[in-house]
Amino acid sequence: MNISHKTEKTMKFMKIGTRPDTFYTEEATRTFIADIPNDLVININNINYLVHKLQFRLLPYCGLLQQLCSDFSDSDNAIIELHDIPGGEDAFELCAKFCYGITINLSAHNFVPAFCAAKFLQMTDSVEKGNFSAKLEAFFNSCILEGWKDSIATLQTTLKLPEWSENLGILRKCIDSIIEKILTPPAQVKWSYTYTRPGYSKKHNSVPKDWWTEDVSDLDVDLLRCIIMAIRSTSVLSPQLIGEALHVYACRWLPDTTKLRPAKGSASQTEQSMQKNLKILENIVTMIPADRGSVSVGFLLRLLSVANYIGVSPMTKAELTRRASLQFEEATVSDLLYPSTSSSDQHFYDIDLVQAVLGSFLALCRRMSPSTAETSQFLTSIIKIGKLIDSYLQVVARDDNIPVRKLVSLAEAIPDIARPEHNDLYKAINIYLKMHDDLSKADKKCLCRILDCQKLSPEVRAHAVKNECLPLRTVVQVLYFEQEKSSKATTNHKLTPPQELIFGAKQTPSTTGYSQGKKWSGSDEELQERGSHKKNHTS
């Protein structure tokens, strides 16, 4: 027996036996080539193994075969069916080759079926000294459990034989080994691990705190859950570190909805993959630590987008919405840009997702005490969210298929206190009007009705009075408030009627900013100057 301890690039393996492989395969029959005829047939899943009872020590090593062959005389050709052997024919073949002395290589990838099959065949030291089970167990304890990637690979293979793995202690020992290594201080980590984050080089002397997250993402979500919940119970690692592990896992296994269109996405997902994604997502949500900030709001919004796509339970969706709303002020516009996953929607952006999180945030605000709602911190937060939504509106306004009602509904959801000025809202409206030049008069009025002209800066009002995209009613309001502000600067000045302002009976107030070629600061797209409204211009 030879055990290799290579750990940097190759996982550990054990080499047993010295004879060349003399099994010959013909259709569904495998025959050990020897000078003497076979006298035992092992049938496993329609595959026949033609082997020998005594000459090559098959029976002496296998307690179970000794019992099953006791009813046959030495001259009989015995036929035994072993359909229930764990690991099937491949595992049996490893055990048979061990008995024949044929060279076999065992590693973390085939240890579980080999060990379970050896136990099933009763290949223990009580039957024959130096038997297969004892050698495998020694390899497991001294090599696999001592290795990092070996433990993970072995744990993953237990999924094929869950009951046997649990009863033989393989499952528990692998999990304990992995948890022990994860809880090891980074400075004491000496084993090889996978870490492919941008900007990180293994030439660094220090080991990153989240060194383990990529490797555990190899595991099935049920196994990951066992590990994460055990780690959480120790309170050794920070909630943010656990959240990072969940983020890595989600990025690896859940679909990226930013790259999906509703019509194509639904068709590309098979029922099996949908169910798998559903299980992964719902498990991840239950594993997220309760601490605020354990995961980013961007991650929560991504999970919510996936939830809409695969159709999770209402409870899971509500929990994600609630968690995202608690950190909503930390979001950026890019965090909100997910495509609609509804096949009934023709527009691209998922405004319903954003509105659901906003609604949850506002519901939380309504439950606050009056004293809390008046604090400067709260006002800062809600104003920040107001600017976030207005910036988001400027992006979605470019969608050719976005209906007016969707834009208006989201814009109106922002309370007045969150929008002390309407410059960003005006920008969104202007973009929408330019992108939808075939908009009806009724829709234009509906869209512009949400604009409070009194909350526009002088530069924006100057732009608005020249904006041919705006309905006449809105231009009148802008001119009126512009005139009103000018009149307050002079004493005993009579307001000019709006009709005269529109039809040119009097000069409109002089404007600065756009009339002098200045740009409207704070926007990502220049507002182009438009000609003045003519007398015969109609709304």
Evaluate whether 44 touches 80 at the Cβ level (below 8 Å): no
Residue 511, token pair as written in the block: 């404007």
Going by DSSP bridges, is the β-strand pair 40-44/78-81 parallel, antiparallel, or unpaired?
parallel
pLDDT tens per residue, range 333-366: 999 999 987 766 667 899 999 999 999 999 988 8
Higher pLDDT, 22 or 132: 132
Q: What pLDDT shows up at residue 261?
A: 58
Which range among 64-78, 85-99, 487-501 has the greatest average pLDDT? 85-99
**What does the alpha-carbon distance between residue 42 and residue 47 come to, in Å, rounded to a whole number?**
8
For the chain, give the mean pLDDT. Answer: 84
Higher pLDDT, 36 or 482: 36
Q: What pLDDT shows up at residue 485?
A: 67
Higher pLDDT, 8 or 332: 332
Residue among 322, 334, 309 at smallest CA distance from 359: 322
Across residues 504-526, what is the average pLDDT? 35
Residue among 442, 394, 413 at smallest CA distance from 352: 413
Burial call 506-528: b when 16+ CB within 10 Å, e when fewer: eebbebebbeeeeebeebeeebe
The one-letter code for the residue type at 2 is N
Higher pLDDT, 140 or 524: 140
Residue 337, token pair as written in the block: 């840009």
Residue among 31, 79, 80 at smallest CA distance from 56: 31
Q: What pLDDT shows up at residue 56?
A: 63
Residue among 484, 489, 432 at smallest CA distance from 453: 484
pLDDT tens per residue, range 78-131: 789 999 999 999 999 999 999 999 999 999 999 999 999 999 999 999 999 999
Q: What pLDDT shows up at residue 531?
A: 36
Evaluate whether 463 touches 451 at the Cβ level (below 8 Å): no
Strands (E) across 185-289 are located at none
Higher pLDDT, 434 or 11: 434
**What does the alpha-carbon distance between residue 393 and residue 479 come to, in Å, rounded to a whole number?**
25
Q: What pLDDT shows up at residue 318?
A: 96
Distances from the Cα of 154 to the Cα of 48, 121, 151, 171, angstroms:
29, 21, 5, 9
Across residues 138-150, what is the average pLDDT? 96
**What does the alpha-carbon distance between residue 435 and residue 525 come to, in Å, rounded to a whole number?**
13
- Residue 151: in which H helix or E strand, if any? helix 148-157
Evaluate whether 260 touches 339 at the Cβ level (below 8 Å): yes
Residue whose token pair is 């046959």: 72
Q: How much of the chain, in percent, has pLDDT values that exceed 70? A: 82
Residue among 196, 287, 281 at smallest CA distance from 243: 287
Q: How much of the chain, in percent, has pLDDT values that exceed 90? A: 59
Phi, psi of 24 (to 5 degrees): -115, 130
Distances from the Cα of 314 to the Cα of 248, 308, 309, angstroms:
25, 10, 13
Residue among 395, 468, 467, 461 at smallest CA distance from 432: 395
Burial call 16-29: b when 16+ CB within 10 Å, e when fewer: bbeeeeebeeeeee
pLDDT tens per residue, range 244-302: 999 999 999 999 998 875 544 444 568 888 899 999 999 999 999 999 999 999 999 99
Residue among 227, 1, 299, 297 at smallest CA distance from 134: 1
Handedness of CA 514, 519, 522, 528 (dihedral sign): positive
31: three-class secondary structure by DSSP: strand
Q: What pLDDT shows up at residue 271?
A: 83
131: three-class secondary structure by DSSP: coil
Task: Tell me the sheet residues that pair with 19.
Answer: 102
Residue 47, token pair as written in the block: 């595959």
Q: What pLDDT shows up at residue 111?
A: 98
**What does the alpha-carbon distance between residue 46 and residue 367 come to, in Å, rounded to a whole number?**
68
**What does the alpha-carbon distance between residue 267 and residue 29 come to, in Å, rounded to a whole number?**
43
Phi, psi of 184 (to 5 degrees): -70, 135
The one-letter code for the residue type at 358 is L
Q: Band of the pLDDT at 496, cuts 50, 70, 90?
A: very low
Count of residues in the chain: 539
Evaluate whether 123 touches 137 at the Cβ level (below 8 Å): no
pLDDT tens per residue, range 452-466: 888 989 899 889 888
**What does the alpha-carbon distance between residue 152 and residue 108 come to, in Å, rounded to a whole number?**
8
Q: What pLDDT shows up at residue 119?
A: 98
**What does the alpha-carbon distance between residue 5 and residue 10 come to, in Å, rounded to a whole number?**
9
Residue 513, token pair as written in the block: 């900013």
**What does the alpha-carbon distance between residue 408 and residue 413 come to, in Å, rounded to a whole number?**
9
489 Rama class: left (phi>0) / alpha (psi -120 to 50) / beta = alpha
pLDDT tens per residue, range 189-225: 999 999 988 877 766 678 999 999 999 999 999 999 9
Task: Quote the DSSP letter at residue 40.
Answer: E
Which residues contact residue 202 at a Cβ distance below 8 angstroms, ignoring those fewer than 6 apart? 195
Q: Band of the pLDDT at 53, cuts 50, 70, 90?
A: confident
